[in-house]
Amino acid sequence: MVFLIRKSRLNLTLLHPLFISTILLAVSSLLQSAIAAEPEIVEIQGGNVFVQQTGQSGYRIGFRGLELRSGDVVLPGPRTRVTVRCRPQANPRPVPRRLALSQICPDLVRSTDSRNDADFLALLAGDFPYVTQLLPETSTLRWPALPGETVYQVQLLALEPLQPASDDPFEILPPALVETLLWEMETTETAIAYSGSALSPNGRYTLRVSRAETIYELPLQPLAAAPLARVQTTVADLNAQTVTEIEQALALGYLYEEVGLYWQAIAVLEPLSDRAELGATEHQLLANCYLRTAAYQAAAQHYETAIALAVQTGDTLTQAAAYVGLAKAAAATQDRGLAAQYLRRSLVYYRLLQDTEWIRTIETQWLTAVAPPLNGQ
């Protein structure tokens, strides 16, 4: 009987409000620590991984245990296996290509990647929504081969705002952009050194190349100071690190594409395009740069290569995105039937991915624009 009474007193002690409060606080602290734990890199095999951290200008070599935060970007090197654990005790997630943390751990970080981009509809309407950025030292202008046997007529035009006059003193008309010829030259090649006057840092320009009856135009603009500083810092960082030629090309290629230096991205990646280290996502990157410089044939070739490589590895996401790229290239050349075919193929893979945003965009916006229902159905 005495033993039972003592046991009862022990239970009363355990149930004391102060004791319970202490236990709850400890449990709460542990839970909050687990919830607050940042995603981290848990495995790196076969090479280097590069991380562009939030607020930093360039890529740096990552390491196992590195915590990742919203806005970080992870870029595995060639043949490098990288995994990230998004939550404590959760299964690690593979990082097969350059991905933002919002793509690796979408349940933790709200994605800023817009699914309803207007590029396709703009291209279909005959507009060109991309602008190729220029480095200050840019001296070479480039364009795809155009049909014909005559020389290329190359012009660089400046776009300058002009305020139209109005007979009504109380009416203010919107300014119009007027083209002014800055420089012109002839060549038989598909590139030429620019030898005109210095370009204005805030200027807007158009490269116009004509051959026979074909005209090629590309919007150009000098790269702004902030992204230029970011590029310069990244190049310096990579030169100071021990990285392979292809690792440096990949890091620069993704950076150049991100800031709009499409010619530079093509220049570092195209010479390596026949190398086995370049996978599906790198060919898709090259294709995107060619698309944004209006080199549609080259873009289509690299999208097709990306799809073929993605089939071999089972990369459903790259197949879906590459078919969207092919649809954009077809829309730019006003081949609506081919664009519709590619969009329907991309839908197959987005349905496998259960990506409702892309499915909705393609079905309700893009396919409707390309092939509207007959008789209003």
- Sole residue written with tokens 């046997």: 149
Tell me, yes or no, whether 90 lies in a domain: yes
Would residue 119 count as lying in a domain? no
- What contacts 24+ positions apart, CB below 8 Å, involve 226-229? 227/133, 227/259, 227/260, 228/135, 228/136, 229/57
What's the whole-model pTM score? 0.74
Answer whether 270's CB lies under 8 Å from 91's CB. no
Cα distances from 124 to residues 81, 147, 300, 320, in angstroms, run 39, 23, 16, 19
Q: Is residue 193 part of a domain?
A: yes
Q: Are 327 and 119 in contact (CB under 8 A)?
A: no
Per-residue pLDDT tens listing for the chain (377 residues): 333 333 334 343 444 554 445 444 444 444 444 444 678 999 998 888 888 877 665 677 888 888 888 778 898 888 788 999 887 777 788 888 888 887 788 666 433 344 457 899 999 999 999 999 999 887 899 999 999 888 999 999 998 876 666 666 666 666 677 889 999 999 999 999 999 999 998 899 999 999 988 999 999 999 999 889 988 888 888 787 777 788 888 888 888 998 999 999 999 999 988 887 788 888 999 999 999 999 999 999 999 999 999 999 888 888 999 999 999 999 999 999 999 999 999 999 999 988 888 899 999 999 999 976 555 44
Q: Are residues 264 and 366 in the same domain?
A: yes
**Phi, psi dihedrals of residue 105, rounded to the nearest 5°:** -125, 70
For residues 264 and 328, state if they share a domain: yes
Q: How many CA atoms lie within 13 A of 183 on its CB side?
A: 14
Domain that holds residue 175: 136-222
Is there a domain that residue 9 lies in?
Answer: no
- Same domain? 277 vs 364: yes
Indicate whether 367 belongs to any domain. yes
Both 309 and 349 in one domain: the answer is: yes
Does residue 99 share a domain with residue 186? no
- Please give the structure tokens belonging to residue 93: 């997630």
- 283 in a structural domain: yes
Which of 58, 80, 104 terminates a domain? The answer is 104
State the total domains in the chain. Answer: 3
Does residue 173 sit within a domain?
Answer: yes
CATH number for the domain harbouring residue 289:
1.25.40.10
Residue 124 lies inside a defined structural domain of this protein:
no
